[in-house]
Every structure is written in structure tokens, then in C-alpha cells.
Amino acid sequence: MMGSNFSALAGQWPSCDTGCEHLNTIHFDALSDDVRASLQGQRWLILRDEDLPHATAALAFSELEDVLVAVDHRSLPIVDGLWMRAVHLLLVQNEDAEAIQLRSGITKVVSTGDSVEDHLW
């Protein structure tokens, strides 16, 4: 059921290539030692799969600062975990995006070769 609702809504979300060119984003490797301060005023925190083991504070503070989280998880196998609860957009490659979305609860899972920025809303 969640998959069918998502499919109906997915086309309605603007993406960066359709009018969101001024989204405030920050990549994990650009965060300062004061992670929470770095996230203030941002719309998206963008991580790579290899960042996840080091991103606990960033994921926690993103929730407190109302920052959405995108993960580009196309270079390593996915290992389900608590990190998934903080993620709003997950990019995968050669994976069943709908199955991952259903088991994880992530808002939007996309199997693509596009950039992360192409799928932000």
C-alpha cells in the first residue's frame, strides 16, 4: 500500500531540475566540528554510503534542525540499520528500490545513475 501511495505522489514532488535550484544543501564532508551549527538553515544533508559509520551526530542533529537527509548508497552493499530511520532519500544502483523502501520506511528510494541533487525536493 505504501508503495502505491508513494508512486502517486512521486511525480508531484519538485526536484532540483524542475524548480528547486536554490535548495540549501551541505555535504557531510563539509560539516564543521560544530555539526549542529553547520546544519542550521540547511534543507538537505547529503551523505555517501562510506560516511554512514561516522555520521551518527549528523543524523541526530539533522532531525533536531529539520534537515532532510539524502544518502548516495551506490558504491557499497546496503546493510540495514538504524541509520535508515533518519534518511528521506536513498539512491541505489542495481537494487529493488521499491523493496528497500517498503522494508526501510525511507520516503523515496531511487535506483539511478543520476546525481543526488537531481532527486532533492
Q: What is the pTM of this model?
A: 0.83
* Whole-number Cα distances in Å, 29 to 2, 7, 23, 36, 118: 33, 32, 18, 14, 20
Note the pLDDT tens digit of each residue in 2-19: 444 433 334 444 444 445
Cα 99 to Cα 46, 64, 86, 109, distances in angstroms: 22, 28, 18, 9
Are 91 and 72 contacting, i.e. CB atoms less than 8 angstroms apart?
Answer: yes
Sign of the C-alpha dihedral, residues 101, 50, 60, 44?
A: negative
Mean of the per-residue pLDDT values for the chain? 87
d(CA 6, CA 63): 22
